[in-house]
Structure 1
């Protein structure tokens, strides 16, 4: 596959991945949570009932032995639910949406061993911990009150969404158990360090709107292609390495990078094609775009603008000049070494 083909895997306008609507959604949710902290609201007990089940069930399919049928999809969204105990007996469910309720407990889902897809956004969950669900592939727990990432070890999990929670550090994500996880969404939390995200199969990592000051512990993410770090407090680009050999798109918008020289730390990323550095202090420097291309020969786009052929030619001239100057300095140092006659 050519480099052009690799870039085709990235969406045409990667800035759309910043999801402005979701940014607004996170701000609105933060406001909602602050109001909830000021006014302690007691929800009236509202259990999931058979009537609600009858209304929300759909998609009739054959069961495992092929001799019977059961509904495998449930939508119980925005029903003010505080209790889903009834679900423990609906063991054939594969798709469950229990978003926008007041749930604090997911344990009734532990018996749903055929579950493929779970959406539990906008509840009062403090944990995403559940028993291992052998077929679960997509799980979304966004906009809850989850404080950690413990107890998540579903072997076929591909996409995990934990945005808009209260996570400070990623712990408990075992790479030997989460062997299929390729997308991890952690935007809008309170994450202070990237340590703990040791998932070699990960392809997409979203860490925008946290409190990160630097990048560390991501060296083993050799299959990572997309990394979002927008709206953090990052000052240095130390922490990137050539082992991150698949990284194509890096978003560092709205951080605190002031030194253009930091871009040199990205030159060992062999497949980096698109870089976003808007709203960093260094982006106001006169040589901002030129320095980026000098340091990253294969870069195709900086922020929203692609580099032209003349930009590449100029950058190549600068690289050659710098190389010649470096060689001259080395020759000069060699000439200044004291002569030691052979005996």
Structure 2
């Protein structure tokens, strides 16, 4: 053994070595601890490798099996007709199946699994909340039956296009962050939408949002936006996040009369005069503006200058400030 190889050898203490060689203890739960009339069963972090037979709990409404070792949806799930909430966050599931009997399901969380395709949801007509964060999904599809959906979370997948959701007219919150989306599209009919979150994608232009007049929060940070044009009609917007883009001017933001929060740090705005546009927004309370070029022009006076220009704000970047007196 060479000196380099010897240096790479890690010697475990006897106790740790024995523990490392022990087989994984699975299914560390006891259903006998639950009454048969229980409405909620929580088997989180019990190292479960299967969904047990829960037929003796006829009133169960909520089932949580987060942080386990599940690889498949047990056929026994379909018998849980009374179930309204199913949480299988962080397991090893690869395919959505055996959910047809859950006709009363309202909330479904399948985040942090290994699911490659949206499927098996056709019978869940009462579903209002669907989480599919951090899977391997490449396409938005097979949501035709979910017309009651109010929240759809598909962040951190492999999605390239916003499609097949125009029929979700009851949708209020849509999350598509950290995908590969290049264009905002296919959402014009979502008139009830209040939150649209698409950070960390490949969008270079704000477009096709002018009809979303009920929108209150818009998140578009960490991509390639050049300006803020396209938001002028969103008069109910209270939060706009365009941080870490390529924006060179704040033109357009002054028309958002209801704006409370404006996050535009880490952009390319050169002139401090751009901040004067924000002085017209009487309800503005929080601004994030640091690390734009104007910030580096006079770092020591930056905060003071913002306070004098935007007397209505109560927070500048991560620091609270005393509201100016009249």
Q: Tell me if TM exceeds 0.5.
A: yes
For the 8 Å contact 2:150–2:170, the answer to whether it is kept is yes
Classify the secondary structure of the residue corresponding to 2:60: strand
**Distance verdict in 2 for CA 1:79–1:219, change over 3 Å:** same
- State which of 236, 254, 261 in structure 1 corresponds to 2:249: 236
Q: What number of residue pairs does the alignment pair up?
A: 252
CA distance in 2, matches of 1:81, 1:59: 26
CA distance in 2, matches of 1:218, 1:88: 41
TM-score for the superposition, normalised by structure 2 = 0.69
CA distance in 2, matches of 1:142, 1:226: 19
Classify the secondary structure of the residue corresponding to 1:106: coil
**Distance verdict in 2 for CA 1:119–1:59, change over 3 Å:** farther
Who is 1:52 aligned against? Answer: 51
CA distance in 1, matches of 2:122, 2:315: 46
1:168 correspondence with 2:182: yes
CA distance in 2, matches of 1:70, 1:284: 59
CA distance in 1, matches of 2:173, 2:227: 25
Matches within 5 A, 1:117-196: 117-129=129-141, 130-131=143-144, 133-153=146-166, 154-174=168-188, 177-196=189-208
Matches within 5 A, 1:181-330: 181-198=193-210, 199-242=212-255, 244-286=256-298, 288-289=302-303, 291-293=305-307, 295-303=309-317, 304-307=319-322, 309=324
Who is 2:99 aligned against? Answer: 87
For the 8 Å contact 2:155–2:177, the answer to whether it is kept is yes
CA distance in 2, matches of 1:238, 1:291: 20
TM-score for the superposition, normalised by structure 1 = 0.66
For the 8 Å contact 2:148–2:171, the answer to whether it is kept is yes
**Distance verdict in 2 for CA 1:152–1:301, change over 3 Å:** same
**Distance verdict in 2 for CA 1:78–1:302, change over 3 Å:** closer
Higher relative contact order (CA 8 A, sep 6+): 1
Who is 2:76 aligned against? Answer: none
CA distance in 2, matches of 1:87, 1:136: 17
CA distance in 2, matches of 1:125, 1:107: 11
1:107 correspondence with 2:119: yes
For the 8 Å contact 1:58–1:74, the answer to whether it is kept is no
